[in-house]
């Protein structure tokens, strides 16, 4: 476990869980009740783009 100070709060970060995010394979998730999900991409310059997708 790692601890991070963020906006005056101490947050616990699970290093093993974070390691699963650092790859090109998506993790499975249940279909949202709203029928939509969002994907946000942030490049190395800090520019971000978010797109909302609908699922059937």
Q: Output the DSSP codes for the chain.
A: -EEEEETTEEEEE-HHHHHTTSSS-PPP-PPPTTSEEEEEEE-TTS-EEEEEEE--
Per residue in 23-49, pLDDT tens?
A: 777 778 889 999 999 999 988 888 999
Domain boundaries, position 20:
2-54
pTM: 0.48
Domain count, the chain: 1
Whose tokens are 């974070």? That residue is 18
- Residue 37 burial (CB count, 10 A): 13
Amino acid 21: pLDDT: 74
Query: If you average pLDDT over every residue of the chain, what do you get?
Result: 82
């Amino acid at each position: 476990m790692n601890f991070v100070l963020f906006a005056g709060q101490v947050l616990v970060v699970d290093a093993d869980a974070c390691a699963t995010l650092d790859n090109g394979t998506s993790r499975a998730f249940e279909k949202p009740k709203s029928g939509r999900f969002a994907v946000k991409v942030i490049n190395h310059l800090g520019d971000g783009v978010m797109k909302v997708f609908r699922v059937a």
